Structure 1
């Protein structure tokens, strides 16, 4: 509401004072009704009302509406105020319309005409009022009425800066309502060049608009990258006196810097031109340098502005994931924040380091802060910071520090907050399985988990330890002994009883030779827990008892006595009653041979993906950093012992995709089909973390699993496997918002000519993706002939009534159909010489390394490319030599590769030879792009 000064609108001031002085709700309503009656009579009976009086009465109606009362008159008087030349009267008219006029109102035509008149006015104040009203209403009618005029205002050379600024924000509001209003063609260049405007306010508003336009059509607005980098460079290198009007507590234009850094995160890589990329890296380097400088002010506003730019720059560095030096420096800078007194800074530092931990360039740098992160997990006062520390420990864990991190997490579990215990249990179980070099350690960890936090151990965790023990002979005796000792504790969790019952029922005979764990002792120990357990656990124990009858005939009578107990044969639980009666009869009438056949040891579980990751992602969508489960396989419970495991696991996903690893796949071949967590960070990003657009199809040339695309709304992950000329992709769509994604339709962009090269079959998905949910889509591909361009997919959906469309390349490059081929040096060079007959059989590239040369990183990329890396073949130990066969339906093409690094010149020479020129060229181009 406008301020009431002096005698201005005295009646309004008196009315507001009367309302505030009302002693009851009834008195307030009475006073309001009296005023409404007075205003109505004035509007109807007094035709001599001037603009001031109309303004005063319209203000009273606005105040009454804001108190929660319906207003059904006064609209026409408000519209009449729009034609006034006085700013205060026009302002109140626009305010009333913005708040109270429905878009379906009959007055909308009059309102639109008045707004058009003001947009054509020479008075910039009137133009701004009109633009603000359009933006406040923001309806489709407004978009249709003014969609042509506002862009003209925005790019016109005659428009004042303050109007351009409002026009950009108004156009952004209308674009979110109706994306068709933005013209293309020459308008694209004119809008992009607003980034060069001399007025910083115009540039700030235009950056917000361009960011939204880029998200819809990144290719069309790609020209904004160089201008954004140029503008960012000028801001970063400027002193606070150069941009005095836009300096906030000694930080030049911090909010514009943040917007530009976010804009650049829409592209991967943000700049293809080496000059632009170099300038951007200089900007990021300068921002990191300034973060090290002593603060120019002790006020919190200075540090907030400075850190806002710093964290956005770090987000861009992480998004690029290509500059090793910047990534390590960013990690070191974040490490300093881990000990900062500000809780928010510590939280944001831990969150950003989670992303850095997944980069091959900065993973080791993150590990250097392990001790500080462990202290954060234990000592932080804020539970959200402790949770973030747990996430970072999970992300930084590898084979070198797994045992230490797992032990620290186990120690903390005893005093951890209840809200994070279940998630910690899942993470400890995943890490223990992934990095277990000795499965006795894995068994110890899981049993400790059950002992420390048994209530938070989900079924999937204890299923998994049973599956691993059954599939590995070397750990069965140790597991039986360990679980037997654990069951002797006076207070034993029911999950421990389940694990103990299952393992002793299968492998109790392995420890029965010791009198301390004789068959009778095992049976009595388990049965001492029987009456304290739930019906489901009792049913499992009954199955263990009948197994004992087969393993230990000497305690048959003891077991039969338990089956005969009234509490079992007459149990109210039908499952217990049925098991007791059937097992009793089986133990009586079955011969030893029949009993041994029926109750034989559980067979090995079929190898499939672990379900623990699926449970973790379901609990916290997107929270899990990318991780592989050890061996990439998880058994699905088989049919034997009892039905408890089978029936329960049918209600959860045994694995996310069901892709099995090809038996012939070799470590590092790139075709291992292991499971990754394909969602990124969904929850927890509201704490000033950056919502990014992430799309880099090139990184999938040398990997099969990971996040393919990510923005504020959706995350798309991929998991794939290939065998000869066949490929299978699982696409995972994760909704990152609190609203459902409607009309969700993925469409394959693949014409008839392309279809002659590759056959693709895609399964449809449900049209609605619920809030926070994840769905998967299967795609089968067959390579028919060699091709150069990978297939694309268009994904369209509606979010909050706004249409969205995403175009992306699928990770189906020709190298995915490689079969690694092993050969000795003599065979390799003989074949190499045979393929040297003509240029049509080879392709060669000499190129400069885009990052500091790292032969170990190069080795990792080449191994992921899909060919067989032949060590010791080349006389120069630094050279990489590979061989492979590309499988197609019509033919098989042998391919040889040689990569020669020149460390002094920081150059690579890549040579590819094959029996087909097009294959040589494509393989050479694909691999060269990785360096």
Structure 2
């Protein structure tokens, strides 16, 4: 310990030596307790202790604390050392304070006063010690106490460079604790101009501070861009002799260069002025040129420093995404690193090329390195590099090379590391679906996936292949034939059995004409796998068997025998037992027509984007490379491979027999959400600065006659809704889109619905992430159940923080009671008979006569009546201009029939609306809701 020997603290050296020589833990504790007792007696009994002795004993206490023992005295002596004029004593005092004084301690006031005295000192060493102590403690109390002093110290012309450097770093530490510490106005330009300081240490520290300030308020500190570019230009064009004191192995100021390049990445574009932009591009070109020069030293430190600047420059080029020449040059430079002997360089090159692959300017240049990347995936020794190679192949894939890349990934999958197999399976499945021009190829790829890596094929993958096969008539026969052949393998993975059971149950009839795949052969092949499968798969196969009875009546007896087996009817698994008994009875008592209705083919799935992509993003948040090439900085909607049904769900549906069907889901975080076609592209609209505002409130009346659309929108956020209802159950998908270029923090939707109200309408919300990324969209699912009739609708309060300001939005959910209507067909005789019966009791009807809010349009009125949820009965009313409707409102407790008649009077521009139902409150509410739409 040089400091100990230099200060001559022989007692401390002896004590440390004694501790090191202890043979046991007990001996160490005994020695420490003896020393603590001695120090305590000295502090209490000896009033003549000088600064040297106090420093020695405080050092011993520090050493004991570092050994893991609690120290509960000596704090006042350490505070007294702060007032010493000797550097060594003051230093030990500050060290003890920084390490051992709690921010809630009563000594803080004494410490703050001592620090203030040192900050006002003319001795730069004392000032630096004070600044270091403030930064080490870094509490909010320190920020409040010195929030005015440190900025003055930083920008003062009298402050020494070494103190400015410490002040900038201290201010950065306090800013991270309390962001309101930095004053605005004229202070902004004074802090920015530190980038022009002559002292490179001050510039380096100031750049770190400005980078943090820019992240909080980019507009206010936008002036730093030109100064940063100017300083970067001077460094890049300088020789290693020009900045000799700040040159590291022939690389001028590499740390400062990296900080400046990162600072410029906070702006898009980083420079609006053409002159500044041109100068920045010259800097970037110079950095790329220097990377091509022969190394000035063979030492690894030289290459590390040079490459650190190079990779940060490439990050800025990728961030700008505007200069085609620079992007291609960066790609070529990275391509040279793919064959470098340094593992880290190969990894970083692959990582950067993943980002380059998403640019329209450099995508083709990245593809030129496809063979080398494939070789990296197969031959690299380091698994993290192989993982990065897989990511790059995924990112560079497009229509021209999809089949080759997918095949290479499939080939490698057989020997791939277990840690990356599941992610590779997801990526292969996504690429196969996205770039499939022939869906027979897609089916082959997925079945190969299951064969090669069945244990790593998640439910979403085999769900997805079933969705696609069901939605495409042209591939159903091929899928049935292929899966039938795959099931004949001696060793067949359980996921293959699931896919085979599902597809043959739906489309086995398409291959039944061939004797080699006759109904009996299909059934025997599937049942040969039955006893090797888990209960969940067996349940799926039982559902397939009952569908076989509908498709192939000739094997009814064989299937029924399986249902009758004790292993099924008396199974310990309740699901198997129930399915076997119910399916058996259904096959016995149901007529062919009933059986055909109950077991009809599953309808197409209303999905808009692959659920597998959402799973991949969830597994690798923020690290999944997008393999869509960005053009003009705007997101590209995901290709729609399914029908255009407006409904969307997050959970699987179930047919009448309980046969689980693959769920359709949406990504949790995507800038191209499923509402893009409905709501429009919200991500390219200009965003104005929004200050703190009163709570915004959104009305829901416009959703009485429609289920989808924009629920709320302002400069910060857009909230879209898509909903579907079935009897007394409803499901809403709320889509929150961040329209800003910054994150929305503490994003929290809260349901405003009392327990009393929940007894009539039950509402459940799934939670969402607390952070909504810039330009991203997340989905929140809401489930509702109508229990009894109700009038009010639930609201949600959405609160979040934007630019340090809390914003609040209150939105009514479109859950009006008419959403639970089931349209009911009636003929004229039935309608008017029911109408008359309900009209006999005045309390069962409601009537409203009102003036049209806009010129009458009977066609528009017709669309509103259809959207309201009831069945529009044409040709019933004697007056053809009148609208007559019928429906049933489903509630958990009851069903309420409802009849409606709307009579327009064009001459008077008036409507008469009459609603009759078996419940007065329902009649009144329906009447009020519909009247508001006209």
Please state which band the TM-score falls in when normalised by the shorter chain: 0.7 to 0.9
Matches within 5 A, 1:596-611: 596-611=596-611
Give 3-state SS (helix, strand or coil) of 2:647's partner. helix
In structure 1, C-alpha distance between the alignment counterparts of 2:866 and 2:227, rounded to whole Å = 38
Of the structure 1 ranges 599-608 and 442-451, higher mean CA displacement relative to structure 2 is found in: 599-608
Say whether the 8 Å CA contact 2:247–2:253 is kept in structure 1.
Answer: yes
Q: Summarize deviations over 1:796-828 as a string: whole Å, max 9, x none.
A: 968999999999999999999999999999999
Of the structure 1 ranges 904-913 and 296-305, higher mean CA displacement relative to structure 2 is found in: 904-913
- Counterpart of 1:261 in structure 2 is 261
Say whether the 8 Å CA contact 2:151–2:171 is kept in structure 1.
Answer: yes
Q: Summarize deviations over 1:864-886 as a string: whole Å, max 9, x none.
A: 99999999999999999999999
Of the structure 1 ranges 906-915 and 26-35, higher mean CA displacement relative to structure 2 is found in: 906-915
| 1:359 to 1:800, Cα distance in 2 relative to 1, 3 A | closer
Shift of 1:745: 6.0
Shift of 1:5: 1.8
Give 3-state SS (helix, strand or coil) of 1:632's partner. coil
Say whether the 8 Å CA contact 2:765–2:783 is kept in structure 1.
Answer: yes
In structure 1, C-alpha distance between the alignment counterparts of 2:21 and 2:418, rounded to whole Å = 49
| 1:411 to 1:834, Cα distance in 2 relative to 1, 3 A | farther
| 1:890 to 1:590, Cα distance in 2 relative to 1, 3 A | closer
Shift of 1:553: 1.9
Say whether the 8 Å CA contact 1:669–1:863 is kept in structure 2.
Answer: no
Shift of 1:18: 0.1
Shift of 1:516: 1.2
| 1:53 to 1:883, Cα distance in 2 relative to 1, 3 A | farther
- Counterpart of 1:115 in structure 2 is 115
Say whether the 8 Å CA contact 1:112–1:145 is kept in structure 2.
Answer: yes
Give 3-state SS (helix, strand or coil) of 1:807's partner. strand
Say whether the 8 Å CA contact 1:613–1:677 is kept in structure 2.
Answer: no
Q: Summarize deviations over 1:104-138 as a string: whole Å, max 9, x none.
A: 22221211111111111111111111111111111
Shift of 1:299: 0.7
Say whether the 8 Å CA contact 1:426–1:612 is kept in structure 2.
Answer: yes
Shift of 1:607: 3.9
Of the structure 1 ranges 125-134 and 589-598, higher mean CA displacement relative to structure 2 is found in: 589-598
Q: Summarize deviations over 1:180-226 as a string: whole Å, max 9, x none.
A: 11111111000000000000000000000001111111111000000
Say whether the 8 Å CA contact 2:564–2:580 is kept in structure 1.
Answer: yes
Q: Summarize deviations over 1:579-606 as a string: whole Å, max 9, x none.
A: 1122222222223233222222222222
Shift of 1:622: 2.2
Give 3-state SS (helix, strand or coil) of 1:649's partner. coil
Shift of 1:424: 0.8
Q: Summarize deviations over 1:424-474 as a string: whole Å, max 9, x none.
A: 111111110111000100000010000001111111111111111112111
Q: Summarize deviations over 1:676-732 as a string: whole Å, max 9, x none.
A: 9999999999xx999999999999999999999999999999999999999999998
In structure 2, C-alpha distance between the alignment counterparts of 1:910 and 1:151, rounded to whole Å = 71
Q: Summarize deviations over 1:823-874 as a string: whole Å, max 9, x none.
A: 9999999999999999999999999999999999999999999999999999
Say whether the 8 Å CA contact 1:608–1:635 is kept in structure 2.
Answer: no
In structure 1, C-alpha distance between the alignment counterparts of 2:378 and 2:532, rounded to whole Å = 34
| 1:692 to 1:669, Cα distance in 2 relative to 1, 3 A | closer
| 1:152 to 1:708, Cα distance in 2 relative to 1, 3 A | farther
Shift of 1:773: 13
Of the structure 1 ranges 501-510 and 834-843, higher mean CA displacement relative to structure 2 is found in: 834-843
Matches within 5 A, 1:493-892: 493-627=493-627, 650=651, 743-744=746-747, 775-776=778-779
Say whether the 8 Å CA contact 1:842–1:921 is kept in structure 2.
Answer: yes
| 1:617 to 1:7, Cα distance in 2 relative to 1, 3 A | closer
Shift of 1:909: 57
In structure 1, C-alpha distance between the alignment counterparts of 2:126 and 2:324, rounded to whole Å = 53
Say whether the 8 Å CA contact 1:728–1:781 is kept in structure 2.
Answer: yes
Say whether the 8 Å CA contact 1:374–1:393 is kept in structure 2.
Answer: yes
Shift of 1:377: 0.8
In structure 2, C-alpha distance between the alignment counterparts of 1:331 and 1:48, rounded to whole Å = 72
Higher RCO, Cα 8 Å, sep 6+: 1
Of the structure 1 ranges 498-507 and 804-813, higher mean CA displacement relative to structure 2 is found in: 804-813
In structure 2, C-alpha distance between the alignment counterparts of 1:400 and 1:164, rounded to whole Å = 57
In structure 2, C-alpha distance between the alignment counterparts of 1:507 and 1:929, rounded to whole Å = 49
- Counterpart of 2:463 in structure 1 is 463
The count of aligned residue pairs is 928
In structure 2, C-alpha distance between the alignment counterparts of 1:485 and 1:444, rounded to whole Å = 11
| 1:150 to 1:355, Cα distance in 2 relative to 1, 3 A | same
In structure 2, C-alpha distance between the alignment counterparts of 1:104 and 1:252, rounded to whole Å = 45
Of the structure 1 ranges 197-206 and 706-715, higher mean CA displacement relative to structure 2 is found in: 706-715
Give 3-state SS (helix, strand or coil) of 2:710's partner. strand
Shift of 1:249: 0.4
| 1:798 to 1:98, Cα distance in 2 relative to 1, 3 A | farther
Give unpaired runs (5+ residues) of structure 1: none
| 1:400 to 1:253, Cα distance in 2 relative to 1, 3 A | same
Say whether the 8 Å CA contact 1:628–1:675 is kept in structure 2.
Answer: no
Give unpaired runs (5+ residues) of structure 2: 686-690
Q: Summarize deviations over 1:894-915 as a string: whole Å, max 9, x none.
A: 9999999999999999999999
Say whether the 8 Å CA contact 1:315–1:690 is kept in structure 2.
Answer: no
Say whether the 8 Å CA contact 2:844–2:917 is kept in structure 1.
Answer: yes
- Counterpart of 2:688 in structure 1 is none
Q: Summarize deviations over 1:282-325 as a string: whole Å, max 9, x none.
A: 00111111111111111111111111111111111111111111
Shift of 1:650: 2.2
